[in-house]
Structure 1
Amino acid sequence: MRIRRAITIGALLLMSVSLTACGDDSDAGDNDGDGKSSASTGSGKGGGGSETASTELPEASDMATLAYFLNEHASCLDLKAGAEYDDSNYADTDPAWGEESMTQDPAWGIKERAVCMDKYNDANTLLLLSDMKKFQTSIKERNYSSILIGKDFAVDPGDAQTIQELKTSGLKTLHCSAEHPIPSGYKQEPALVAGCVLTDYYDD
């Protein structure tokens, strides 16, 4: 009886050791060396979805800074105050965007207007803004288009070549036309006025 009992106890001990070893093997597949789970998890973003990230727009505190910015990406030569350019012979054949009276109209939110020539001898109009929302509202109400927007300024490029050069500048187009939808694949961010967006699609 003692021999049979000893054999039975020995068999039970062997089974216990075997089961413990199996349990350790299964746990090893779920943990890495420091005890943390090695299974990868999703980042929380849908694989097929898209996100609209807010872009930090370029800013300029004065016309000299704005002209320097344009020269970094395109060209801005012979900078003149808007009124001076409007009175020059250049304005007869290549008028600048807008009118100098806009700076006196609070509805536009324009602090200063200036003009410089690009290297193709076309006029770029530079606008420092005191109120971006008022400016965007006036643009929409008057159905203006192809205005490039910074954080506190706007630019009307002289020609298609300059527009192409500014595509990498970080400026966005203010787009308010439902009749001309933006092609797919371009970023669209809410503008400050309903019905308009800021986009990296340059309609040149």
Structure 2
Amino acid sequence: MRFKRTLTATAAIASLLTLATACEDPAKPAPPAAAAPAATADAPAQASPSAAGAAPATLAEAQAYVRKYTSCENLNSDPNDSRVNLAGYTPIGTWAITERGICSDQKEQGSIVISMVSDMKAHQQAYKDDVTKRLDEGYWDAGLYDQIMVGKSFALSATKTGTGLALAKSDLRVLVCNPDFSVPEGYKKEKALVDGCVLTDFVNSRDGKGSPVKGAALPSAGSIEELRKLVSPKTVDCTEMLVTNEHIASIDYQPVVGRDVQGAGVKQRAVCGKLGGPRPVDMNWLDLVSDMKTLQTVSKESQLAEVGHQRSLTQSKLMVGTNVAVESNNPTVRKALYKLGFLRLDCEPGFSAPAGSRIQPAQVGGCVLTDFERPVS
């Protein structure tokens, strides 16, 4: 499962990603800290025209480039600079990083950490390897919010989302290596120097202040069988499917819709999973919906009961389309459904989703539809 997360580790890794730009050199070991970055001024990047930007040879030249788009004052290369805690950053001399400096974005009241890089391909490969390692350790969101902005000979990360948004208007690009990331509609997508990574002008952020996202159309189906084909076989295992309005319970599964199927706005209902034996497993409910507002109202009541600790049974989460729904308590299944365009109904009081997440109004007040789930420790 990739839904556990340690905030301290994530924060350290995010700050670690003060990275560099796009260069065409083949991967090679990182140079020692004293090595000078190999860069030529104003040369376009080989990987993609937009990702090039300028190719500063020094921190001062990188600062001058950043200043075209946002404030970058009081540049300092002292590792003990108090503006940013560098304890979690990749040390100079590794990942092809040759020099590092910190400046202040006075407009956003934050800081920018700039790293000069001598071999961008090696640098991107090292970053990708680190993201892969974190994903394997269970950090499902590894690399989704790092906001590493790269050019040709330098890279940077900022402590404020507003700084990233300002710099996204430059030729710098955000480097993302999480395989579950997809560039939202309307944003640039360019090839990185290593497979499995992309460059984009989309700024993702946990604070909800990143780049806005346009939502795609929700999925629909004309029948239960059509819905089954839509979600099978890679998303929901419907090898065994029973079309029924009967209530089928499980020790570890309690659907939102109970015995009163039609009263919940559901026209037809099926259950997928291993139904034999005293304890059915891998259960996911498929719903052909006749009244989506009624179904969402039932789900809202169920969620609020859970928040108030009035129920102790495990509740499924309702994933909705236009006239269809899937109920599942399996995070892996829900993750796959998000990729198909389904959104989860969330009625938690005060719920908010970070930029980069889809979020749109539900049909009942106090609820939203979203593809964001808070990680479970």
Pick the TM interval, shorter chain.
0.5 to 0.7
2:126 equivalent to 1:138 = yes
Partner of 1:103: 92
Whether contact under 8 Å (2:150, 2:175) holds in the other structure is: yes
Offset, 1:200? 1.8
TM-score (norm 2): 0.36
Change (3 A) 1:159 1:142: same
2: CA distance between counterparts of 1:97 and 1:176? Answer: 23
Q: Is the partner of 1:102 in helix, strand or coil?
A: coil
Offset, 1:158? 2.3
2: CA distance between counterparts of 1:74 and 1:127? Answer: 17
Q: Which structure has the greater CA radius of gyration?
A: 1
Partner of 2:303: none
2:111 equivalent to 1:123 = yes
Percent of counterpart pairs with the same letter?
30
Offset, 1:71? 1.3
Partner of 1:191: 192
Whether contact under 8 Å (1:77, 1:117) holds in the other structure is: yes
Whether contact under 8 Å (2:148, 2:156) holds in the other structure is: yes
Find the partner of 1:57 among 52, 74, 86.
52
Change (3 A) 1:96 1:117: farther
Matched AA of 2:52: L
Q: Name the Cα RMSD after superposition.
A: 2.0
Q: String of CA shifts for 1:107-165, please: whole Å, max 9, x gaps.
A: x0011111111113322110110010111111112224310010111010220111121
Whether contact under 8 Å (1:96, 1:123) holds in the other structure is: no
Partner of 2:276: none
Change (3 A) 1:61 1:80: same
TM-score (norm 1): 0.64
Q: Is the partner of 2:92 in helix, strand or coil?
A: helix
Q: String of CA shifts for 1:44-102, please: whole Å, max 9, x gaps.
A: xxxxxxxxx742611211111111111110011111115131xx3x34xxx24853x62
Whether contact under 8 Å (1:73, 1:169) holds in the other structure is: yes
Whether contact under 8 Å (1:117, 1:158) holds in the other structure is: no
The 5 A counterparts of 1:12-161 are 54-55=49-50, 57-58=52-53, 59-85=55-81, 88=82, 90-91=83-84, 95-96=85-86, 98-99=88-89, 102-105=91-94, 108-119=95-106, 120-143=108-131, 144=143, 145-161=146-162
Whether contact under 8 Å (1:96, 1:125) holds in the other structure is: no
Aligned length in residues:
143
Whether contact under 8 Å (2:79, 2:86) holds in the other structure is: no
Partner of 2:283: none
Unaligned runs of 5+ in 2: 1-47, 132-142, 206-377
Offset, 1:201? 1.6
Change (3 A) 1:82 1:147: farther
